[in-house]
Chain A
Amino acid sequence: MRKILALIRRELIAYFSSPLAYMVLTAFLLLQGYIFYLIVSFLNDPRTQAMTPLRLFFGGTIFFWLFLLFVVPVITMRLIAEERRSGTIEPLLTAPITEGQVIAGKFLAALLFYVVLWLPTVVYVIILKRYTAIDLGPVASGYLGVFLLGFLFLGVGTSMSTLTRNQLIAAILAFAAMVLLFSVGLLDQLFLSSSFFKDALTYMNLWTQMDDFSRGIVDTRHVVYTLSGGLLFLYLAAVSLQVKKGR
């Protein structure tokens, strides 16, 4: 545990000593600010029907997905690829530490950064709460959904970072894998009649999962899917690190 904490601390030092972290944070806040503006103007429009406005915030807009698909690879790309490129993987893995611990530490640091990314958005909730009645239940489940989605995507990104020593390639691989994972669930629309495949694809549909969370529905199937998916990729990451660390 102590080693994992040491890895997390080191990783956070690395994040916040590079301009990338601040760029990501700034861009993210700009985007969220824009979405917040949309929500507010939406609420001010007398034609608006009764709905939960924060749904827009949690996966209700394409911006949310676009940004997530871009930003997660940026967070995860250097995790292992940079260790490999600079050679620091060698002193790291000749310390009494396992590949699993390395992956766990790196992933948790990325998850922490992701949480920090979302933290300022709580301010919007507080502002809205002051001026209008909002139901905090869906907000909480929305944040849970965001966290779980991050868990899955960051897991994918971490595993992709073990495959190469080039950060850019790691980012592209992560992006491709996440787009695949995201779009495969949307394919359920292609099937008209109910079948095993349609059910399976529906199960994997991240868009509807996020929609459920934003409406306050915490479906354990969604929780299981994202957590187990994330853990599967983390396991693959540890195996891949073990197999090809010297190359």
Chain B
Amino acid sequence: MIEVENLSKVFVDVPVVDDLSFFVPEGQVLGFLGPNGAGKTTTMRMLTAFLPPTAGRVVVAGIDLDADPVGLRREVGYLPENVPLYPEMRVDEYLRFRADIEDVPRSEIRANTEYVVDRCMLGEVRRQVIGTLSKGFRQRVGLAGALIHRPPVLILDEPTVGLDPNQIIKIRELIIELGRDHTVILSTHILPEVEQVCERVLIIDRGRIVADGSPDDLRSRFVGNPAIRVELRGADNEAAEALSRLPGVIRVTPTGDGRFTLEHSGEEDPREPVFRLAVERGWVLTEMSSERASLEDIFVRLTTREEDREPSAEPEAVAAAEEV
């Protein structure tokens, strides 16, 4: 649905987007991540034909950006960062205006308006002046405006910024729902949001892709061995030694006070043997939990700049970042 090939954007000698290539199949919800200034917004602006690329090819829904930028805009619904709206207009005036400039056929304006009002839950504020609405409602008005022409592709730039937790949940539910019948690119800083909403994650840094895959995929690729954490009361000095002999365990790191972190291969679950060992030796097992690397860890690993990195940082993280 969205093809991007060797896309670049240079602003006065500074490459903001640097040779980006990716493909988003129809119906996928793609999380677009990256630190501030990584080139997310610039990429999105190129995908929506707002900014012309310096080099590269963009094809959305079969329409080439170079050949027909205006036609491409018809296929895309775009919600820019901070949701710019006209504060002096009423909600239904704004939706009518959007329908007109988005080429919605006259006979479909009413039906499409009802559809977006219903989907974005705007029924109660239709006659209100946009400037008087709360931020949550304004976000939904922006989304309704982006949906009015029923585009197959939705591009949302940080749609939950500045909302309160309840509003975030509502917008997120709406995006998940929209993801069922739209191809969506969603940029955000909120990583749990990505895990909930997106099937696939694309992390960019300094205009280049540093990771691409499903959240689980990235976890296994970038975080190394799975681990469990145990706390054993009464464990003696040989405990670490005994634990490391259990099947599947690769490495045991004591973290003090009878706590240990066990890295394992992931093929065999070491939790049962740990329990049996504790019983056998008379230790009291007070805690045992799997450690699951969060997307946050991966994000930080991949996008921390070398110059920001503390000297003690692990070298393999750098290697992992360069590998991609």
Would A3 and B145 count as touching, CB distance under 8 A? Answer: no
A90: B residues at CB distance < 8 A: 45, 50, 78, 80, 84
Q: When the two chains form their complex, are residues A87 and B88 in contact, meaning their CB atoms are under 8 A apart?
A: no
Which listed residue, A3, A17, A86, A87, touches B100 by the CB 8 Å rule? A3
Q: How far is the CA of A60 from the CA of B96 in the complex (A)?
A: 44
Contact of A88 among B51, B74, B86 (CB under 8 A): B86
CB < 8 Å: which of B50, B87, B88, B101 contacts A3? B101
Inter-subunit contact B88/A13 (CB<8 Å) = yes
Binding site for B on A (CB under 8 A): 2-3, 5-7, 9-10, 13-14, 17-18, 86-98, 245-246
Q: A13 near B78 (CB under 8 angstroms)?
A: no
Do B51 and A6 touch (CB < 8 A)? Answer: no
* Complex A-B: 20 CB contacts under 8 Å: A3-B100, A7-B101, A9-B97, A13-B88, A14-B86, A14-B89, A86-B86, A87-B82, A88-B84, A90-B50, A90-B78, A90-B80, A90-B84, A94-B48, A94-B78, A95-B73, A95-B102, A96-B102, A97-B101, A246-B51
With both chains docked as a complex, state the minimum distance between the C-beta of B87 and any C-beta of chain A, in angstroms: 8
A88 and B85 within 8 A (CB): yes
- Ranked 7 nearest A-B pairs via Cβ: A6-B100, A87-B84, A17-B88, A94-B48, A88-B84, A90-B80, A95-B101
Residues on the B chain within 8 Å of A18, using CB: 88
What's the Cα separation between A87 and B138 when bound, in Å? 14
Verify A96–B71 contact, CB threshold 8 A: yes
Are B50 and A246 interface neighbours, CB within 8 A? yes
**Binary contact track B72-96/A, C-beta < 8 Å → 1, others 0:** 0110101111101111110001001
Given known pairs A18-B88, A91-B78, A246-B51, the reply for A13 and B93 (CB within 8 Å) is yes
A96→B100 contact, CB < 8 A: no
A10's contact among B73, B74, B82, B89, by CB below 8 Å, is which?
A: B89
Query: In the bound complex, how far is the Cα of B96 from the Cα of A89, in angstroms?
Result: 17
Given known contacts A6-B97, A9-B97, is B86 in contact with A96 (CB within 8 Å)? no
Q: Does B146 lie at the interface of the complex (its beta carbon under 8 Å from any beta carbon of A)?
A: yes
Q: Are A94 and B50 in contact (CB under 8 A)?
A: yes
Question: Other CB < 8 Å A-B pairs besides A86-B86, A88-B86, A245-B51, 7 of them?
Answer: A3-B101, A10-B97, A13-B89, A94-B50, A94-B78, A95-B73, A96-B102
B146 A91 Cβ-Cβ under 8 A: yes
Number of A-B pairs whose CB atoms are under 8 Å?
76
Max chain A Cβ within 10 angstroms of own Cβ: one of B81, B82, B86, B98: B86
**Cα of A14 to Cα of B86 in the assembled complex, Å:** 8
Given A3-B101, A6-B97, A246-B50 in contact, is the A94-B76 Cβ separation under 8 Å?
yes
A92 with B45, Cβ < 8 A, contacts A13-B88, A14-B86 known:
no
Of residues 30 through 74 on chain B, the ones whose CB sits less than 8 Å from some CB of chain A are 45, 48-51, 70-71, 73-74
Residues in chain A near residue B80, CB distance under 8 A: 87, 90-91, 94
Cβ < 8 Å to A, chain B residues 150-166: none
Residue of A nearest to B100 (CB): A6
Choice from A5, A9, A95, A246 contacting B45 with Cβ under 8 Å: A246
- Closest residue of A by beta carbon distance from B131: A17
Q: Which residue of B lies closest to A82 (CB)?
A: B86
Within 8 Å CB of B79, what residues of A?
A: 91
Contact string, B137-155, partner A, CB cutoff 8 A, digits 1/0?
0000010011000000000
**How far is it, in angstroms, between the C-alpha of A28 and the C-alpha of B71 when the chains are bound?**
44
B103 close to chain A: CB less than 8 A: yes
How many Å lie between the Cα of A3 and that of B146 in the bound state? 16
Task: Give Cα distance in the complex from A244 to B76, angstroms.
Answer: 22
> Nearest residue in B to A14 (C-beta to C-beta)?
B88
Q: Are A2 and B100 in touch, CB under 8 angstroms? A: yes
Q: What CA separation (Å) do A245 and B101 show in the bound complex?
A: 18
Given known contacts A10-B89, A97-B70, A246-B45, A92 and B101 CB-to-CB distance under 8 angstroms: yes
Inside 8 A of B142's CB, which chain A residues have their CB? 91
Chain A positions within 8 Å of B101 at CB level: 3, 6-7, 92, 95-97
Partner of B73, one of A6, A13, A94: A94
Q: How far is the CA of A96 from the CA of B50 in the complex (A)?
A: 11
Docked CA distance A13–B45 (Å): 28
Closest chain-B Cβ to A18's Cβ sits at a distance in Å of 7
When distances are taken between beta carbons in the complex, the residues of chain B under 8 Å from A98 are 70
Which chain A residue shows the least CB distance to B86? A88
